[in-house]
Structure 1
């Protein structure tokens, strides 16, 4: 089993060199470009040569990346770690205040960027101009021949920033040991996929549309390079259908907004736009069970995943295609121990983060003295082993009556209403309030739907309805703010 990026590099050169590693749509050529694993490995070595030439001994030094998805991004991120430095992928969608905080916290020796953020926020060049580097800076270097394994696979390798709903983002510290300990959780379930789909070959491709500062995108790139599959990169969701049409992809990780778009095409008889896409892995948020059920009936394999940045995306996997398990995140992965502490899901094992960067107090709040990571998710596990998430511990509403209300449970009940575009449930004036954004012409229909839901709820859970004239605010990761 491959247990490091260096071993993956060697595997590229010796076992899968002639396979296509990555494809992307080249704007200049107006067509698809691709590289094989042999070239991928050579460019990783070029990047190591660049870091050594510019910064000498880079062990433990931070290298920030601020760009859209691209082949160069992949090289920069993994080349950094192979060289022994620490990769810090940043969210291009954040504002200057957030990015300047994260750069100040991590103190990178260089910032690899594609120019987009600098054009939008001139303060980047004004403050960090001396350490800004283009994404393709490595191309001018000869491949380093003397690349070896890093001394300690448990050492810090990545700092992945999370976007909380309040306060500053936290830098999640991950090692290569963390990352590769989680790999079986991503690779093993695909045996179920191949069996269900009748595939007798490993030669299929996955479209990667999530940004690379997202743990799901990072783990996908690593897992597919282990198996020798091809990754098709989408650098902007604005061009999702163009890229999907240009690059045949059977597999894709989706978030709710993407799934809704795909679902719309399927139900309108426009499956041709999907160019062979047939396996969807769903994660990062709540999904409408009806959409999942309809997609399964149309022949799609739909898997649900649960994981956090702090767990390297590891957690649970639901590959069952039975309707009764649609609302479950599946069975817990065997790479970790699990327990419920007063309903809160806790995990312990090698995939669990090292801690939060320069934040021992924040780390101590979530990792206890016995090494248990407290996820903050309220869960239950049924006798058949399937796990269900019912809400976030910090979001629980405690009423004056002493009753506890999980707002996520109520939000799930509102998902089937097609007229609701966005919704959060919160406490307001000591009542349970559903704050809803929708077409003003649909407000009466939405009120009627909420009234129908309320009839099936105990009195203390019944919701009053409030409408927002604007889309609801979201954080830098696109999650609704409460």
Structure 2
């Protein structure tokens, strides 16, 4: 079977070169499949590259030239990928954003980027930015739908225009600007991250050290394609002649069985949702079976944790003596029969839910909580966690199948360097000491578009990028992320607290769905919590507490339960310190979501907007003089 070796690409290779090879060697392989389209959509590599060329010719016919900025306001679909590559293959600079982003944000991006053309998902998306389009006098307007709009080319008309003109491949250089991705961020106005063709190619050429797919392997795609994480992964997986299968939260469970994928690229929240679904199934078993599951899970956790220590794969046990490792190996051996029994009775069924071909799960776009890492290792599902930012194209490091050290984000990709420095003095710190993470490599951005001041704050003249994240390096070079520097809460007594690890610990409680810890410049920490209402109502029924939501959340026993859960989970954390305890909490009136503007598209909580919207709840927990 022929393979494409991204790592062996000649110097100067661009995505256009990669696709020319794909269209020739894998012409009949399925590139994209959308089983939920009506009718089902499927297209081969040969057909897809030809269609991309036609669309690129259509853009050239409209006068799009190398360097022109073309905005793409649309979400995950085969046509998004076609529009993305068509713009890149004209030498234009595309500016992608979600179709459901706030109209004011989309308008800002259109103005700030200087886009001279707009590709919108549909007429509704176009109508949301029509005032700005008219203000800027944009005349080159295209749709990814087939709706008829005066003065606008729909997708079919765009294809027809391209068929009437011969495609002229541009001379692309890796140093050329390819895309400007505006960071959604967790606060503040978005900045335009400039990524070159070389930045994008670094990912295509080096992600093979993380996963080694074969031509024809299926990959479920569920994340926003305009986001750098999903986009880089798709570029790489397509370069390896994989088949991308489009799914969504509604169909993902069904698609695991029907599409039988080999891989899934996802964010921690998706793995958390899968975990919660499995836990719900466990709770539907008989009381006896539930006790058996808990007993076997506890034994398996002991088996896995002993194996980590024995194999020097525990970030909490680096440097322990050979005798400690030997003791761990003996413990692992004693627990092995119990773990094998649990696998036969429980874990095998969990894995079967992902289909018979599933090999690895890829997680990024946020911190993977330790309890999820442990659970998936116990049940035998390999999650390869990675780390990066939009500004780094995005992957800086990732765990490997043969070196999957849980709790870390893995070693750096080829050509990538890390440096841990003191946040105040900027002096380098040795392995094992926590500080600010700096990164350098071919994937680091060109800078922020039209924002030299912001660029200078994070990018040094010798190429070191300040990530804004805190972490440390293990003795063998694995990166451990501990939190965001700007998220650190400084208490009134001067103690610094990283909220993310505490929140991850609290999320292990079945009664807590979401939590945001607060307490800047206060004596003690507090929390905003959205409960798992289904589990809480079941508990309340057992206690004889009224199940109506308003009465339930105000009941003293419920408040006591939640506070006990939070405090117990935090106290169980390794390295627990008393000032990390939660003094009080308030229930949130609704879940945090992308739709209400309190989460990013990759499902990370926007702390500042949460604090602003619920300032009255925070004030209740910190009355004047407390």
Aligned to 2:374: 293
Residues 1:113 and 2:120 aligned together? yes
> 1:28-79 CA deviation, whole Å, 9 max, x = no partner?
32xx3211110111011101211111115x1110111112222111111011
Separation in structure 2 between the aligned mates of residue 334 and residue 12 of structure 1, nearest angstrom: 24
Separation in structure 2 between the aligned mates of residue 355 and residue 16 of structure 1, nearest angstrom: 36
Say if 1:430 and 1:163 are closer, same or farther in 2 by CA, change over 3 A.
farther
Aligned to 1:134: 143
Aligned to 1:98: 105
Aligned to 2:46: 38
5+ long unaligned stretches in structure 2: 1-7, 145-154, 282-348, 423-434, 534-552, 608-626
Residues 1:187 and 2:268 aligned together? no
| Structure with more strand by fraction | 1
Aligned to 2:56: 48
Residues 1:256 and 2:264 aligned together? no
SS in 2 for 1:331: coil
Say if 1:111 and 1:240 are closer, same or farther in 2 by CA, change over 3 A.
farther
SS in 2 for 1:370: coil
Separation in structure 1 between the aligned mates of residue 496 and residue 47 of structure 2, nearest angstrom: 56
Residue 233 (structure 1) aligned to one of 239, 243, 246: 246
Shift of 1:393: 0.9
Separation in structure 2 between the aligned mates of residue 454 and residue 229 of structure 1, nearest angstrom: 43
Separation in structure 2 between the aligned mates of residue 322 and residue 444 of structure 1, nearest angstrom: 43
Q: What's the TM-score, normalizing by structure 1? A: 0.89
Aligned to 2:450: 358
CA contact (8 A) 1:25 1:246 kept: no
> 1:315-365 CA deviation, whole Å, 9 max, x = no partner?
111135889x32111112222121112111111121000011111111111
Q: How does 1:194-209 map to 2 (within 5 A)?
A: 201-209=214-222
Aligned to 2:21: 11
Separation in structure 2 between the aligned mates of residue 309 and residue 401 of structure 1, nearest angstrom: 35
Separation in structure 1 between the aligned mates of residue 355 and residue 505 of structure 2, nearest angstrom: 33
User: What is the alpha-carbon root mean square deviation over aligned residues?
Assistant: 2.6
Size of the alignment, in residue pairs? 469
Aligned to 2:290: none
Greater Cα offset, 125-134 or 347-356: 125-134
Aligned to 1:467: 586
Residue 76 (structure 1) aligned to one of 83, 90, 102: 83
Separation in structure 2 between the aligned mates of residue 145 and residue 426 of structure 1, nearest angstrom: 59
Larger radius of gyration: 2
SS in 1 for 2:398: strand
Separation in structure 2 between the aligned mates of residue 443 and residue 129 of structure 1, nearest angstrom: 55
Residues 1:396 and 2:409 aligned together? no
Shift of 1:411: 1.9
Say if 1:278 and 1:443 are closer, same or farther in 2 by CA, change over 3 A.
farther
Say if 1:265 and 1:436 are closer, same or farther in 2 by CA, change over 3 A.
closer
CA contact (8 A) 1:160 1:171 kept: yes
Say if 1:332 and 1:144 are closer, same or farther in 2 by CA, change over 3 A.
farther
5+ long unaligned stretches in structure 1: 195-200
Aligned to 2:528: 435
Residues 1:22 and 2:22 aligned together? no
Separation in structure 2 between the aligned mates of residue 4 and residue 59 of structure 1, nearest angstrom: 15
Q: How does 1:328-339 map to 2 (within 5 A)?
A: 328-339=408-419
Residue 234 (structure 2) aligned to one of 221, 233, 242: 221
| Structure with more helix by fraction | 2
Aligned to 1:282: 363
CA contact (8 A) 2:23 2:49 kept: yes
Residues 1:167 and 2:188 aligned together? yes
Shift of 1:125: 6.6
Aligned to 1:197: none
CA contact (8 A) 1:42 1:143 kept: no
